[in-house]
């Protein structure tokens, strides 16, 4: 029977949030270094990354550095230095977008193909495998059947997103931010125009939909499909959110830890002759009960995972509305900066809760509950909130406090044998991850007068928690037990923990080195058998001479520069699986949609963007 490891991959905005993710059950982390991390506001000094690696590796948790922007020639030296710094800091892999890096002098480390490399077709994944990548991160828009097809035709490790914010465009193929603001999504500077409000116009300029976030999608939640994703061949399950705060990461990571543990422990996946196990070490004990609905979300969607379209757009707001509470039934008072109202729900609000009102006309207003007395609430001023407005709680004050104060303990089980022979006392420990060690308790100790009490004392003192371990005395081998002071037994337990940490650190470093050398050798020997089209346009994101050289080696005769360098004036700015026509019930394949056949435009701040509907591929395209 083969054993497959399942990885829960969590985002880390910084070291502290990464540590929180580890403590809540993450098997791996992804974090940005000082630059080139595809999230401009989530960069970290390499010293912070190194500190996170040291902490994570105690649990066998891997750390991946994001180096996933396209690069200019002038940046290559800096990017390569960062790659070497990341390797020396202890990172286990680099996530990259710019394929030109494959022609550069990389350290011996595994390379993962970012979702920014537009991994939605089997041919693309096969090409990346042939180039020597160790893992590919799939596009979020794929169905289970498409993932199965990729798995059947390739052998590369597969990672997929299971939770978090959704870009409306295929990743790596969005140029709207660059077009509008000059801030490139492929350079980590996205201005998020997909979260803005737009008017939808017909060819005559008539407004069909007014001032709504028509390109803003709900957040992804595939928690009910993890079993099927495992069966489809996915081994790494990724949570989006390198800009999210600690409470979000704690809540979502612990939630999916429970989902994956259920699969592993109860063997709910039907794949034959395969045993699944956690890819890192340590179990969670105690702590808060996760509730994904209580942290930031725009509503949840499963997107296209079942191969069906649904209602994916986030509604009236691109922000976090939160959990539905009820409606305003009576505006009781309105004085100066204060607003008092009564609501009609059994769900009790509390002082400090964040509130979001959606008025009957669709306006969205946010505030905070200052004083709550039963179902009567006084808030800061919220002008224009009438009776009948829907109330959502987007900040649950008591739950946030629980996330802060009631963290789980992540502990590794160690079985200890206590052996006393010929005047020498030895402790032998065996950890759940297979690591073994032995220490000797030095000193001279007299034989205990009360043997049973001494035995109980040894079990009690050695069977406590030290560092990240919970110890259990498995066997005591001795004819006559010495009397040990409690301090001696406590020090022995701590020494055992330290010895296990050292051994695991050495093993993980050895495994990291071997995996890196193997990956480097794979890249050097890679058979670049996949041919690309002879003519490549701006959508191949070629921004440097290294990537141009690679593509030409693969068969390209000409290669346009990336949009960021010389973007054409009127081109495809986005290609989306999401379709506004389908969302509004006017799909061109249906009778209702045929009545509105004709050009449609999005309008924002006086600028218009033409929509085109590729019905053959069931995709929507936005043009500048």
Distance in angstroms (rounded) separating the CA atoms of residues 478 and 405? 43
- Pairing, β 274-278 against β 2-11: parallel
Residue-by-residue DSSP string for 48-91:
HHHHHHHHHHTTT-EEEEEE-S---GGGHHHHHHHHHHHHHHT-
Same fold, 2-166+218-280+288-294 and 321-405: no
What lies within 8 Å, CB to CB, of 335 at 6+ separation is none
pLDDT of 527: 64
CATH topology of domain 321-405: Thrombin, subunit H (2.40.10)
* Among the listed residues 278, 249, 279, the one whose alpha carbon sits nearest the alpha carbon of residue 261: 278
The dihedral built from the CA positions of residue 276, 277, 279 and 283, taken in this order, carries a sign that is: positive
pLDDT tens figures, 58-108: 999 999 999 999 999 999 999 999 999 999 999 999 999 999 999 888 899
Torsion of CA 159, 107, 86, 120, to 10 degrees: -20
How far is it, in rounded angstroms, from Cα 235 to Cα 290?
Answer: 23
Q: Which residue positions in the chain have pLDDT lower than 50?
A: none
3-state per-residue secondary structure call for 173-205 = CCCHHHHHHCCCHHHCCCCCHHHCCEEEEECCC
φ, ψ dihedrals at 181, nearest 5°: -120, -10
* Residue entry with tokens 């996946």: 269
Interatomic CA distance for residues 8 and 268, integer angstroms: 17
Nearest to 39 by CA among 114, 106, 111, 107: 114
Report pLDDT for 334: 67
Domain locations along the chain: 2-166+218-280+288-294, 321-405, 411-522
DSSP, residue by residue, 275-333 = EEEESS--EEES-PPP-GGGSS-S-EE-TTTTS-----B-TT-SS---EEEEEEEEEEE
Cα–Cα distance, 122 to 132 (Å, whole number): 16
Residue 461 exposed, middle or buried by CB count within 10 Å (0-12, 13-18, 19+) = buried
Q: Kindly tell me the burial class for residue 523, based on how many C-beta atoms sit within 10 Å of its own C-beta (0-12, 13-18, 19 or more).
A: middle
CA 268/CA 473 separation, integer angstroms: 32
> Residue 141's closest CA among 309, 305, 313?
305
User: d(Cα 548, Cα 358) in Å, to the nearest integer?
Assistant: 50
Note the pLDDT of residue 338.
75
d(CA 553, CA 555): 5
Nearest to 565 by CA among 537, 590, 602: 537
What CATH number labels 2-166+218-280+288-294?
3.20.20.60
Bridge partner list, 559? 536
pLDDT digits (tens, 9 = 90+) for 248-307: 999 999 999 999 999 999 877 767 788 899 999 999 999 999 999 999 999 999 999 999
């Amino acid at each position: 029977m083969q054993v497959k490891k399942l990885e829960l991959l969590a985002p880390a905005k910084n070291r502290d949030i990464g540590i929180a993710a580890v403590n809540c059950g993450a098997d791996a982390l992804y974090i940005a270094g000082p630059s080139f991390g595809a999230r401009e506001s989530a960069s970290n000094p390499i010293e912070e990354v190194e500190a996170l690696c040291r902490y994570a590796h105690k649990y066998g948790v891997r750390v991946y550095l994001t180096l996933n922007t396209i690069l200019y020639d002038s940046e290559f030296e800096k990017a390569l230095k960062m790659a070497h710094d990341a390797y020396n800091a202890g990172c286990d892999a680099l996530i990259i977008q710019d394929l030109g890096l494959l022609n550069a002098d990389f350290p011996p480390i595994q390379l993962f193909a970012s979702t920014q490399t537009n991994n939605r077709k089997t041919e693309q994944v096969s090409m990346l495998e042939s180039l020597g990548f160790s893992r590919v991160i799939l596009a979020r828009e794929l169905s289970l059947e498409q993932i199965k097809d990729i798995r059947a035709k390739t052998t590369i490790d597969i990672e997929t997103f299971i939770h978090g914010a959704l870009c409306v465009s295929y990743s790596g193929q969005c140029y709207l931010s660059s077009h509008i603001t000059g801030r490139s999504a492929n350079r980590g500077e996205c201005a998020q125009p997909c979260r803005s409000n737009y008017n939808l116009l017909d060819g005559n300029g008539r407004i069909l939909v007014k001032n709504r976030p028509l390109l803003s999608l709900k957040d992804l939640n595939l928690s009910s499909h993890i079993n099927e994703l495992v069966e489809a061949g996915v081994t790494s399950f990724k949570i989006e959110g390198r800009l999210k705060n600690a409470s979000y990461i704690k809540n979502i990571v612990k939630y999916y830890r429970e989902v994956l543990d259920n699969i592993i422990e109860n063997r709910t996946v039907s794949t034959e002759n395969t045993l699944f196990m956690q890819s890192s070490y340590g179990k969670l004990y105690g702590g808060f009960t996760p509730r994904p609905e209580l942290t930031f979300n725009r509503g949840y969607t499963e997107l296209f995972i079942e191969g069906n379209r649904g209602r994916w757009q986030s509604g009236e707001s691109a922000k976090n509305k939160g959990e539905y509470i009820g409606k305003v039934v009576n505006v009781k008072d309105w004085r100066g900066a204060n607003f008092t109202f009564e609501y009609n729900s059994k769900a009790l609000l509390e002082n400090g809760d964040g509130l979001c009102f959606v008025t009957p006309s669709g306006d969205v207003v946010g505030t905070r509950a200052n004083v709550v007395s039963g179902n009567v609430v006084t808030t800061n001023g919220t002008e224009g909130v009438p009776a009948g407005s829907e109330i959502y709680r987007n900040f649950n004050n008591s739950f946030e406090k629980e996330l802060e104060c009631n963290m789980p303990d992540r502990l590794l089980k160690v079985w200890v044998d206590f052996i006393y022979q010929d005047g020498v006392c030895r402790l032998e420990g065996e950890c759940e991850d297979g690591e073994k060690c032995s220490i000797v308790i030095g000193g001279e100790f007299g034989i205990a007068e009360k043997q049973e009490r001494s035995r109980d004392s040894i079990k009690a003192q050695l069977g406590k928690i030290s560092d990240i371990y919970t110890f259990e005395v498995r066997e005591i081998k001795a004819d006559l037990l010495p009397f040990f002071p409690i301090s001696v037994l406590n020090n022995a337990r701590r020494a055992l923990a330290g010895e296990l940490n050292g051994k695991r650190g050495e093993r993980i470093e050895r495994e990291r080195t071997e995996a890196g050398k193997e990956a480097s050798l794979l890249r050097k020997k890679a058979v670049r058998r996949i041919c690309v089209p002879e003519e490549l346009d701006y959508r191949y994101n070629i921004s440097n001479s290294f990537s141009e050289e690679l593509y030409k080696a693969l068969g390209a005769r000409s290669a346009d520069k990336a949009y960021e360098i010389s973007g054409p004036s009127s081109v495809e700015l986005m290609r989306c699986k999401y379709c506004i026509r389908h969302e509004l019930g006017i799909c061109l394949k249906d009778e209702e949609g045929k009545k509105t056949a004709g050009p449609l435009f999005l309008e924002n701040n006086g600028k218009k963007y033409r929509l085109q509907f590729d019905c053959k591929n069931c995709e929507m395209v936005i043009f500048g």
